[in-house]
A and B are shown apart, each in its own frame.
Chain A
Amino acid sequence: MAKQNPFKEVEQRTIQLINFEDGLWDLMLGVIFMALAVYPLTRQWLGPEWNLLLFVVLLGLVVFVQQMLRRRLSSPRIGRVVPRRTPKLRLVLAVLVLMVAATLVLVLVTLLQPAGSGGTFEARGGGARSYIMEYVVLLALVVLFSLMGYLFNVARLYLYGWLLGLGNLGSVVLEHQAGWTFNLPLAIAAGIIMAIGVVLLADFLKRYPLHQGAG
């Protein structure tokens, strides 16, 4: 197999070390999708408006905690880097941000039925039309995570795309076939990602002890 450009390898290794080595990103992703998985249950208790508010607050909290942990736990161990804002990097980041936003909207659309619909599959149009939407979400998740996995050379992101995509599809199918309101397949997918995050974090803390003295 032909070796790729060593400069590109170094660039990818830098991104891996700073963003993906500590497992915090995986934990954040797992928690967000776990919140989406239990969304129908909490909606039954809280009602649609309060539930949406809870989700938004939780999303903000998860991002804040992840950033704080990265600053307190991860950066002192792995070091700090000021990224170089090249036009190429800006373009990649812009595309990724747009794709993440689009995918999140798609997942929200597919999981969060309109208020008063009762949360049933039929209420969303049922049949082929809704399944087309679910396939679009599956495709969006697989493409987004595969693109990230390819760009940053992080193999587990390919798995995450399929796990979350199929978890989402499975949740809709179960809701349609068995009337389940709890998105169990998506919860399992999110749980696997969280477990991977915990293992990575434990391994990270063991492999990268705190440096004493100057940084």
Chain B
Amino acid sequence: MSGETGNLEPLRDLADIDRLVHEPARLMLMMYLYNVDAADFVFLVNATGLTWGNLSSHLSKLEEAGYVEIEKGYVGKKPHTMARLTDEGRAALDGYRRTMRDALKSN
């Protein structure tokens, strides 16, 4: 009988959860980027309440992991930076959601 051990399986999966996504600020950033095609730094600062330094640091980590693409450009004469979730980033967030949902549903 698979019984109780079967129910605990999703909880064990938590041990392998993607810790890059699991960090609250990065999770919040990825959730905002998940809903849009791209967003600039100003929007992300306003939406998440992170400081510029924190935002930059978290986005760099996500970029290194291949979860986020950063595009630098100009609007008029001002530098302008857009961030976009990659397919890999979307898959990572989908996987994270699945793992958390299954773990929290299991009892």
Residues of A that sit less than 8 Å from B by CB:
6-7, 10-11, 13-14, 17-18, 76-85, 208, 211, 213-215
Contact = CB atoms under 8 A, between A and B. Distances in A.
A212 to B, nearest CB: 9
B35 A79 contact: no
A11 B39 CA distance: 13
Interface string B32-72: 10111111111111110000000000000000000000000
Contacts of A84: 35-37
Contacts of B34: 7, 10
Nearest to A76: B42
Given A77-B42, A79-B39, A215 B47 contact: no
Given A10-B32, A79-B43, A211-B45, 12 more contacts: A10-B34, A14-B36, A79-B40, A80-B40, A81-B40, A82-B36, A82-B38, A211-B42, A215-B40, A215-B41, A215-B79, A215-B80
B31 interface: yes
A10 B35 contact: yes
Interface centre among A17, A76, A81, A208 (most CB of B within 10 A): A81
A7 B32 CA distance: 8
Contact of B41 (A13, A85, A214): A214
